[in-house]
Structures are given as C-alpha cells and as structure tokens.
Structure 1
Amino acid sequence: MTSKNSVSFEEALNKTGFGKFNILAFLVSLSLIMGMALEVVSVAYLVPASACELHTTTAQQGLMAGAPLLGIIATSHCQGYLADTRGRRKVLGWSMCVAFLCGACAALATNWIVFCVLKIMSSAALAGTIPLSISWLSECTPQHKRSMMVSLTSTMYLITTGTMELSCLSLIYLKYNLLRYHNCISVLALPVLQLEFSYYIPYLNIYFSSWRLLNLIFASGCAVAAMAIFSSYESPRYYLRMGKDEDALEVLREIFTLNTGKKAKDYEVTSVYLGEDTGVPTKGMFSSIMAQTIPLLKPPLLKNTILISVMFVIAYAGTNAFVVWLPFIADSIMKAKEKGEDMSFCEMLESTQNTTVTESTDCSLNSFALLTVFVSSMLIAVVNIVLSAVINYVGRKRMVIGVQLIAGIAGLCISGANSWILSTCCFIVYLMGTVNFGFISTFSVDVFPTYVKAMAVCLTLMVGRVSSFVGINVIKNLLTTNCQVAFYSFAALTFVGAFVATLLPNDVKRSKGSTDAVST
C-alpha cells in the first residue's frame, strides 16, 4: 500500500489542490516584499526629511541614500546559503526581525553616520527577501499555478514603491508649501510629516520629531512580515531535501486540509520522494558554502546560472536604471514644458540640465512630475497583473521574449519620435520591461534543484544588482550629455535580452490527464 501511494513531490503537491492556503501563502509573500520595500526604499524620503536636524551635506545625503545597496550586495550570498541549509521560513522570519530592530533604531540616530550604519544593517538582513520569498512561495504552490503566483509578487514591489513615490510628493509639497493639490496626496507621509511635535530625549541628546516617527512606520512593515511568516509552514520541499520526510508529509496534509476542507486522513499520499539531486553532505561552514556554490558554476547548472544572470544584468543595468532616474526624467520634461519651447524629448532633458547647472538655484522637483511617476508605477503594476494572469496560456518563455522585443522597439522610438508626448508614451512602454523581473524569477525557482535553489536565486539577483550600480551612473551621465545614445544603446541591450531569452529552458507543462511533466 505504501509503495502504491509513494509519489514524487510535484505530484504530491498537486494533490493538495489550489485554494485557501495558496492565497494565504501569496499574501505572506506580499507582506515580506512590502516590508522589504518600505524599509529599503524609505531612505530616499527620510534623508531629505532629516537633513535639517542631522545637518547633513549633499555628499553625506548621497552616502545615506546609497547605504542600503551596500548591505544588500554584501549579504546576498550568505542569505542564500542559510536558506538552503537552515530553512526558508526561519531565515526569512529572523531576517525580518533583525531588519525591524535596526530600522526602528535608526529613528533614534544621533547623527548621519549612525543612521547609515543602522540602514546598512537592516538592508543586509533584507538582502535575500525577494529571492527567498519567491523560493518559499514556489515550493508551496502547485506547478500549474506557480509561474502566475511568482510573477504576481512583482506587483507588490511596484505598488509599494509607487505609493512611496506619492509619499515623497507629499513631502515636497510640505517642504515648499505647495499645498494646492493636497486632496490628491494624502497617503502615508503627509499625515505624519505635517505633525508638529518635537520631544527631547536627554540620554541621546536628540529631538524625536515627525521624520523619526515616519521611520518607525516604515520599519513596522518588517515586524508585520515577521509575524506572518512565523505563522506559516516551512517549505515541504526543503524538508524533503533535508531528509525530514515525515515533516514534509505533515505539511502537505495541512495544506490539503486548508485547500479542500477535508480531513488529513483523506489525503491519499502516504509516502513522498523528492525526485532530484540533493547534493553531497558536508561538514563545516566553509565546506558547506562551497557545496552550495560550486554546483552553480559547473555543468549541468552552469548554463542556466549564466543565462539567468545575464537576463538579470540586462534587466537591472538597463530597464531598472531608467526607473531609478524616472523622477529626474519626468521633472526635466515638465520643467522644459513650462518654458513653452518646442523641443524633442532629448532636447528637453539636456536643456533642463543646462539651465539647472548655469542659471537656476531651485533644486525642488516638479510636483506634477512626481504624480506622473506614481501613475506610471501603478500602470506597470496593472500590466504585470494582466500578463501574470495569462502567462500559463502564452508561456513564460514567449512572454519574456515578447516583453523584451516590445520594450526594445519602444526604446528605439523614444528619441526618434517628433512629438514629446509620443516619446513619453514610448518611454513608459519601455519601462514596462520591468515586469520581466518576475517572469525571469519563475525560471530561477524551477531550473535549479532544491538544495541550491535559494543560493542560485540570491546569486543571480546579486549579479543583477551590482550591474544596476553601473547602469544607474552611466545612464545619468548620458541623459544629460548624449541622450540619444542613452536610449539607442540601452534599447539595443534590451534586444540582446530577447535573444538571450530564446536560450532559456523551455516551459514545462502537464499533459491533460497526466501528472508527468513534459517539455513544450
């Protein structure tokens, strides 16, 4: 009887169904990503708000804003190793706790150096949040719904950062007393930053004011995420990889009960096997780290490691770098339009920069431009939801290729269009290439075996993040000196991404009436 009901993990997971548990797991993943986004991205808004009290210079503010990137790059590899050897749920939970403590303590920073150190520590704890959360979610989701659920997680990051952009808009309105449109911007920062209070803390010799309270609010997202993940189950796939077959089976029974409403004894599976390479057991931390890393750098995994890393490099260095400078681009376009001159998209960017450098002393951002950034972020989030809903019908490989091609064509048209409005529309379409972050991630969680999966996702993302630093600096310089080269060259890079995507593994589907996986 046991032999008859001994099935592979994928089949056992499919037998649990898709329902209440999967929705809750998805919400947990969203809370993790939201907590990470609130804490990491918050520096962009806390830095200017704290400038007066901390007496920071422009250079110091730049270091404060860049602090999270240092923490994320420094610990990505370590987080992948810990998740593969200690468990996804445990690492995610404790990482969120550490991030909350460090992030909350930043609200009591006595100077900008302490603020930087605490933000580096909190971001270091959050380095693996996105890759680990999608790994955990994928290992708890049946294969036929996996790509859709994983790709949808990108929506939460887009919505969170977009909402924070609107919060930044409210900060700028408050700072420059531009409250004519206050009804449109009352979201998060507005009701907090307009509070007029200041409590002196003698032991620290600081004043607890509104920006410190806002810092606590941003950090609280990590606390909520920690409670959510600790209330969930560990990945049954991880349990199997660690040889804890009974624990894995118990989790599968609980998932079955939540999804179907039936009793655990009605779950037909009595024995489950992983059906993949589980790696070679090692002793010692260094040997263990090497055992988790080396398989990714040699056949048969090397090809997928390179392909997915290249895709993330193209996505981060190209499309994502433009997203970072979206407020600057939108601000330049709106300020150029205020002059009433008939100029092309690139001429607007270059003329605004020249004016800023030679004539203007106003460094504030155009309020309508920031509202445009928020709308663009929400639009991309909606597109991500739509594409995620149809990915199983189109195929994720075709989806990635199609998005890259459309984004590349739009990128070529930006500087070539005669109308700045048409160029702006093309630019927004180009930015929609960011939806491929989620789709590329679906390959990561499928093509790597469980024992190196978290490490693989963390490493490939880390490579992309490092390239993002280069892309951000190159694009900023090109936008203000040779705008056309910026769009043509990075559009060409997007086409390269479409070609590389053709080399990605084929989609895996299930034939009707069968539980065996077949390649399309």
Structure 2
Amino acid sequence: MNGNQVGTLSEVVEKKNDNASSLDHAMHVAGIGWYNIKYCLVLALFLIAAIVEPIGYSYILPASKCDLNITDAQRGFLASVPYIGIVLTSFPWGYLVDTRGRKKSLILGSLAAGMFIMLSAFMPNFISFAACKFLSALCTACPAAAPYTFIGELVPLKYRDVTLSVTNAMQILGSVIVPLFAWAVLPLDFRVDFGAYDFRPWRLLTMMYGFLFILAALLLLCGPESPKYLLSQGRYDETLELLKIIYSKNKKKSPDEFPIKSLKIDETVQKEKIRFLTSLKVQTLPLFKPPYIKWMILNSSIFFGILATANGLYIWVPDIINRVLTGDSEGATACEIIAQRLNATGDDIVECDDSLDTTTFLINFVANLTCAVIAIVVSSTVKIIGKKNLLISVLLIIGLFCALVNVVTQDILFVIFLSAMPVLALAIGPVNAYAVEIFPTHLRGMAVSLSMMMGRIGSVIGANIAGIMLNAACEVTFYFFGGLLMFCGLMSFLMPSSKAKQTKEVLMTKM
C-alpha cells in the first residue's frame, strides 16, 4: 500500500464518518432479543464445555487409575494438563481471534478439542491418554476465553454487563453437569473387550464431556461473526447487513426499515497484510504500555487468584469431601480427618480400588446446582449491584469460606463452605466486562486471552500446590487460598466504576 492509497483510504474514512452512526448506537437501535440471546447461549455452551473438561478430571482420574495404572504424581500432572495447554496457546489463539475472527477461531478450536478428547477415551495407557489430553488442551484456550469477547460485542452496550454476568453464571452449569454425568455413568457395570484394553464407564464419560465442544461448534456454524470485528476489519457493508438482520429479527420488521445507513469508523483500519510476528507485536505491546498496562496487571492478577482457587483447589474438592465423609468426622475438622486417614493407611498395601462413593456425586450435584441458581439470580441484578461491588463481594466471601474450612467441625458447614467455590465464576464476568470496555476492538481478544492465560497459570500452580499441601500441610492450604482470594478482593477496589461511560472517562484521563 503506497502513500497515495493511504491518503485515499483516509479520505474515504472521513467521508464515511460524516453523518454516520457509531457501532454502539447502531447496536442500541438494533436492540436485543431472541437473535442475540440464542447465540449468547451458544457461546455460553463453549464456556460450559471448557469448564467441564478440567473439572471432569475430578471423577475420571480416580475412576481410571486402575486401567491406566496412574500414580498420585501422574494424577497431579494430568490435572494440570488442561491448564498447561491453555497457557501455552493463549497467545496465538488471542492473535487468531483478533485477526481471523471470533467465529472461525471458536469453531476450529472447539472441533479440534472435542475430537482429541473423544480420541483419548480409546487410549490404552497413561502415555497415550496424556498425549491426547495435551493435544486437546492446546485447542481449549480459544473456547475458554474468546466467547467473553464475542458475547460483549454481540449485545448493546447497556445490556453488556448483565449479559456477560448471566452468561458467565451459566458457566457454573458446567460444574453441575460434571457430577450429574458422572453419577449417571460411573456406577454402571459394563466392560467391553477391545483387545489392548477394556472399554469401561469412565471412557464413555470422557466422550460425553468431549462431545460438548463439538456440539457448541456445530451450533455456531449458522451464527454471525462479531459486528465489532467486521467493522475493525473494514468490512462495513457486512457489518451493516448483520445489524439489519439483528434489527429485523428483534423488532419483527423488514431489514430495509433499519434507520441507520452508514457506520462511523472509530478505529484505524489496516489493509496491509503483515507478517505474523510483526502483527503479534502490534497486537501485544500496546497492552504493556500506558494507559493499558495498569488494567492488564489488575485483570491478570485477579484472574490468577480466581482460577488458582476455582480450578486449582476445586479439582480436589470431590476427593476431599469423599475423604471427610467416609472418615471419623465426629468433633474433628476436615484437616484433622484427612490426617487421621493418612496415619491409618500410610503403611498399608491395598488392592487398586477405582470405585467412588455415590454420596459424593449427590453432594457435589446438589451443591453445584444451588451455586448455579444463586449465581444466575445474583448476576441478573448486576446493574443494580454494580459489577465492581459484585466482584469484591464474591472474592471476599469465598475467601472467608476457604479460611473457615479449617475451623468448622460440622459436616454440613464444611460441605457448604467447600462447595461454594463454583460461585467464583461470578467474578470472571465482571473482570471480562472491564476488558471489553477498556481495551479497543483490535486489542480486546489478545487482552482477554492473556489475562485468562495468567488465570490458567494460576490453575496449574493451584492444582499442584493443593495436591502437595493437602497431605503435608492441610490447614496452610486453605488459609493460603482463602488469603489469596481476599487479597484479590482488595485489589478489585482499584478497578474503575461499574458504568461503561465512567470506565471510558477514566481511561481517557490516563491517556
């Protein structure tokens, strides 16, 4: 592209901006209705699938330990695999989401993740099983983060906070699906001889978890691309046509009645095709310079604390509950019961037992369902509560619950405090809502992906810390994660106000 072409493009952009509408105003005119909602639900399914996969390890690993000869050390490694893969690929997936589109990236990543997960169900040993799981994890970073950006760009500005929070709360349904599917499948008693291995219930459960990715990708095939992405790529006519469709579906009117005829270009559109590394640099470096570096540090740090607990510690919750409820719990705390069981069985050599107490399934199902209902109700009132207040409250309350696990001796309180962790998903929506508001379209996907990458690093560290410390220093474990959440809650006071306009004003003053 030479200088004359740049000048011509600049003149065209200036003419288009005359008497044109901003995209936010056009989205407001198009409104919100079933068209927006149904695709937000589809995008929520990606998030549900992305949470089901790692949490599913809580049940699949204990049930498969005899067939795959998995040691405790290998179990800890496998529990970290989904997050390791996401950490390694969040950067390139963020690049693809920003440069190749939200829709294409989501479909590609989810189909690949689903196929590798289903393939792992047919692996005969630990190495091949871990390899398939690792390959699936490399593809999971996209459906684990990109839907937040997509959802925020698919609804009018004034509905963004509520939509992101409600959709995010629905992600907790993934925590409900995990024990529900496990409860339905793992107690089954069947064994199909495949020669090198037997096909048992845990393999069927693995396939069921993986199919959620494939289902979400198939449903999105007929969906739209993000209007903000289309506009940022200079595809003005496509953006306007999409807005007409949204208007027509929501208002039950003809697309030709859409009152807006042209869109204002708010951001620089680059037509040049540049090399990958150069483009990656352009999309990343601005995030680590003023005015965005402060928000990147805040978002990333809060995500680290949230996911270190919600994914890292929570992956061990079914095992912890099973240990406590099957031990001598009279007048003892959870850590005292765990210590008693370790002392009683430390020197014993027992036959491999991969059975799980069905009471654990029931408790986790009821607890997670309750958390999901609470989360959806609370998130639907986020405009009243304010996303900043919601974020702070969730982090401080769940942090306190983690610490209180060390002092309660009643089983019911222990189960309530420990099973409340899925409510942490409520904190993810507000943090991502800030990312959608603060960062411009061409940096937004990368910003969300990098923040989530830090969160996944927290998941890896959290899962391994919990696995090591639960036996060696049980009480320290719960104080550590509780303190981490409360620290993140205090950091959240530094976030801008809940209103989008005020967020933008804060950002502009920093510029």
Q: TM-score, normalised by structure 2?
A: 0.86
Q: Is the 1:278–1:450 Cα contact (8 Å) retained in structure 2?
A: no
Cα RMSD for the two superposed structures = 3.1
Tell me, yes or no, if structure 1 residue 13 matches structure 2 residue 27. Answer: yes
Tell me, yes or no, if structure 1 residue 135 matches structure 2 residue 149. Answer: yes
Q: Which residue pairs with 1:236 in the alignment?
A: 227
Q: 1:358 to 1:95 in 2, by over 3 A?
A: same
Q: 1:38 to 1:318 in 2, by over 3 A?
A: closer
Q: Which residue pairs with 2:176 in the alignment?
A: 162
Among candidates 139, 145, 165, match of residue 151 of structure 1:
165
Q: What is the distance in 2 between the residues matched to 1:157 and 1:91?
A: 20
Q: Which residue pairs with 1:352 in the alignment?
A: 341
Tell me, yes or no, if structure 1 residue 491 matches structure 2 residue 482. Answer: yes
Residue 157 of structure 1: how far off its partner (Å)? 3.2
Q: What is the distance in 2 between the residues matched to 1:189 and 1:107?
A: 14
User: SS where residue 154 of structure 2 aligns?
Assistant: coil
Q: What is the distance in 2 between the residues matched to 1:477 and 1:340?
A: 22
Tell me, yes or no, if structure 1 residue 343 matches structure 2 residue 332. Answer: yes
Q: Is the 2:96–2:105 Cα contact (8 Å) retained in structure 1?
A: yes
Residue 428 of structure 1: how far off its partner (Å)? 4.2
Alignment of 1:428-467 (within 5 A): 428-429=419-420, 432-467=423-458
Q: Which residue pairs with 1:175 in the alignment?
A: none
Q: Which residue pairs with 2:395 in the alignment?
A: 404
Question: Mind listing any 5+ residue stretches in structure 1 that lack a counterpart?
Answer: 171-186
Q: What is the distance in 2 between the residues matched to 1:271 and 1:240?
A: 11
Q: Which residue pairs with 2:100 in the alignment?
A: 86
Residue 291 of structure 2 aligns with an amino acid whose one-letter code is P
Q: 1:326 to 1:340 in 2, by over 3 A?
A: closer
Residue 279 of structure 1: how far off its partner (Å)? 7.8
Q: 1:145 to 1:365 in 2, by over 3 A?
A: same
Tell me, yes or no, if structure 1 residue 246 matches structure 2 residue 246. Answer: no
More deviation in 159-168 or 299-308? 159-168
Q: Which residue pairs with 1:388 in the alignment?
A: 379
Q: Is the 1:279–1:451 Cα contact (8 Å) retained in structure 2?
A: no
Identity of aligned residues (%): 28
Alignment of 1:214-293 (within 5 A): 214-276=205-267, 283-293=274-284
Alignment of 1:45-124 (within 5 A): 45-47=59-61, 49-50=63-64, 54=68, 59-60=73-74, 62-124=76-138
Q: What is the distance in 2 between the residues matched to 1:299 and 1:281?
A: 26
Residue 306 of structure 1 aligns with an amino acid whose one-letter code is I
Q: 1:502 to 1:89 in 2, by over 3 A?
A: same
Q: Which residue pairs with 2:8 in the alignment?
A: none
Q: What is the distance in 1 between the residues matched to 2:120 and 2:197?
A: 12
Q: What is the distance in 1 between the residues matched to 2:505 and 2:280?
A: 33
Q: Is the 2:94–2:446 Cα contact (8 Å) retained in structure 1?
A: yes
Q: Which residue pairs with 1:367 in the alignment?
A: 358
Partner deviation per Cα, 1:181-240 (whole Å, 9 max, x = no partner): xxxxxx3555xx54454456xxxx666665554444333222221111111000010011
More deviation in 474-483 or 271-280? 271-280
Q: What is the distance in 1 between the residues matched to 2:143 and 2:205?
A: 22
Residue 80 of structure 1 aligns with an amino acid whose one-letter code is G
Q: 1:498 to 1:274 in 2, by over 3 A?
A: farther
Q: What is the distance in 2 between the residues matched to 1:340 and 1:35?
A: 35
Q: What is the distance in 2 between the residues matched to 1:209 and 1:345?
A: 32
Residue 460 of structure 1: how far off its partner (Å)? 0.5
Q: Which residue pairs with 2:5 in the alignment?
A: none
More deviation in 29-38 or 74-83? 29-38
Q: Which residue pairs with 1:179 in the alignment?
A: none
Question: Mind listing any 5+ residue stretches in structure 2 that lack a counterpart?
Answer: 1-14, 507-511
User: SS where residue 225 of structure 2 aligns?
Assistant: coil
Q: 1:354 to 1:393 in 2, by over 3 A?
A: same
Residue 430 of structure 1: how far off its partner (Å)? 6.0
Residue 237 of structure 1 aligns with an amino acid whose one-letter code is K
Residue 251 of structure 1: how far off its partner (Å)? 0.8
User: SS where residue 247 of structure 2 aligns?
Assistant: helix
Q: Which residue pairs with 1:500 in the alignment?
A: 491
Q: TM-score, normalised by structure 1?
A: 0.85
Q: What is the distance in 2 between the residues matched to 1:258 and 1:482?
A: 57
Residue 440 of structure 1: how far off its partner (Å)? 1.9
User: SS where residue 128 of structure 2 aligns?
Assistant: helix
Residue 348 of structure 1 aligns with an amino acid whose one-letter code is I
User: SS where residue 139 of structure 1 aligns?
Assistant: helix
Among candidates 39, 54, 59, match of residue 25 of structure 1:
39
More deviation in 83-92 or 491-500? 491-500
Q: What is the distance in 1 between the residues matched to 2:475 and 2:457?
A: 25
Partner deviation per Cα, 1:50-94 (whole Å, 9 max, x = no partner): 555555555555544443333222111110000100000011111
Q: Is the 2:121–2:204 Cα contact (8 Å) retained in structure 1?
A: yes
Residue 494 of structure 1: how far off its partner (Å)? 2.2
Among candidates 401, 405, 410, match of residue 414 of structure 1:
405
Residue 348 of structure 1: how far off its partner (Å)? 2.3
Q: Is the 1:408–1:430 Cα contact (8 Å) retained in structure 2?
A: no
Q: Is the 1:32–1:222 Cα contact (8 Å) retained in structure 2?
A: yes
Q: 1:118 to 1:6 in 2, by over 3 A?
A: same
Q: 1:408 to 1:115 in 2, by over 3 A?
A: closer
Partner deviation per Cα, 1:290-320 (whole Å, 9 max, x = no partner): 1111111111111110010011111122344
Q: What is the distance in 2 between the residues matched to 1:47 and 1:425?
A: 24
Q: 1:416 to 1:50 in 2, by over 3 A?
A: closer
Q: Which residue pairs with 1:177 in the alignment?
A: none
Q: 1:149 to 1:356 in 2, by over 3 A?
A: farther
Q: What is the distance in 1 between the residues matched to 2:434 and 2:127?
A: 40
Q: How many residues align?
A: 491
Residue 150 of structure 1: how far off its partner (Å)? 1.4
